[in-house]
Amino acid sequence: MTAFTRCVLPAVLACLLLPTVAACQETKTEPKTPDVIFVPTPQAVVDKMLELAEVDDKDLVYDLGCGNGIIVVSAAKRGAKAVGFDVDPQRIKETQENIAQNKVGDRATVMQKDIFTLDLSKASVITLYLLPSLNEKLIPQLQKLKPGSKIVSHDFAMAGVKPKKVVKVEAPDREHTVYLWEAPIVVDENEKPADPFE
Ligand SMILES: C[S@@+](CC[C@H](N)C(=O)[O-])C[C@H]1O[C@@H](n2cnc3c(N)ncnc32)[C@H](O)[C@@H]1O
C-alpha cells in the first residue's frame, strides 16, 4: 500500500463525503404531529359516504387523514382512483398493507403529507373524518375544487357552509352522521356559530 492510498486518499474521500452526510442530517425532519387522533370510520359509514358522493370509476378520491386506508380501499373497489394522505408513519404503513391485501394497488396509493399543504384541485371527491375546526381550516383549499366535485364528512359539519344533504347511518357502535357538500362551496358568515370569546 502506497503512502497515497494510506493517507491522502482517505482524507480526500472524507472531504468529499462529509458535506453530503451533513446535508442529509440537516434535511431529516420529524413527521408532523397529527391534528386529530386515529379513529377508523366503520365500513357501513364508509359505504354511505361513497354512495352519497356517487363514487365510480371516473372519480379521483382524496381521503384527508386516511388512517388505516379503509376509505381509500373502498373507493378503489368501486373503480375510482384513490389517494390517502396522513402524517403518521404507522398509518401510512397500515394503508399500504390494506391496499396490498385488497389488491387495489393499480388504483390506490398513500402519501405521507400534511393535508393543509395539499392542492386539492384535481380531486373529484374529498372524504373527511377530522374535527369541525379542521374542516373549517380546510375551506380555502376546498374552495379550489372543480364545480361539481363532492365533499363528504363523517360526523362533522363545516361552520358556515350549508350541506346539500345530511344522512344518519346505523353502525354496530352507534348512530353516525354523514354530510355532503358540492363544489363550489360558499361560506355564509351568518350561518357560523357565535364565537364564545367575542
Ligand atoms: C379520525 S382519523 C380518520 C381516518 C380515516 N379517514 C377514516 O375515516 O377511517 C384522522 C386521521 O387524520 C390523520 N391526520 C391528523 N392530522 C393530519 C394532518 N395535518 N395531515 C394529514 N393527516 C392528518 C391522523 O393521523 C388520523 O389517521
Domain ranges within the chain, ordered by starting residue: 43-182
In the structure, what pLDDT confidence band is assigned to residue 18 with cuts at 50, 70 and 90? Answer: very low
pLDDT of residue 112: 98
Question: What residue spans of 53-149 are helical by DSSP H?
Answer: 70-77, 89-101, 132-137, 139-142
If you measure from the C-alpha of residue 33 to the centroid of ligand 1, how many angstroms do you get, rounded to a whole number? 11
Q: Summarize the confidence of residues 177-188 as an average pLDDT.
A: 97
Nearest CA to ligand 1 atom 6: 66
74 lines ligand 1 (CB under 6 A): no
Residue 176's beta-bridge partner residues? 169
Q: Summarize the confidence of residues 104-126 as an average pLDDT.
A: 98
Q: What is the pLDDT of residues 32-74, one digit of tens each?
A: 999 999 999 999 999 999 999 999 999 999 999 999 999 999 9
Q: 56 CB contacts (<8 Å, ≥6 apart)? A: 78, 79, 80
Q: What is the pLDDT of residues 131-154, one digit of tens each?
A: 999 999 999 999 999 999 999 999
**How many beta carbons lie within 10 A of that of residue 16, not counting itself?**
9
User: Which CATH superfamily does the domain covering 43-182 fall into?
Assistant: Vaccinia Virus protein VP39 (3.40.50.150)
pLDDT of residue 196: 52
Q: Return the DSSP state at 192.
A: S
> Which residue reads 357552509 in cell numbers?
161
pLDDT of residue 41: 98
- Asked if 18 and 24 count as a contact pair (C-beta separation under 8 A), the reply is no
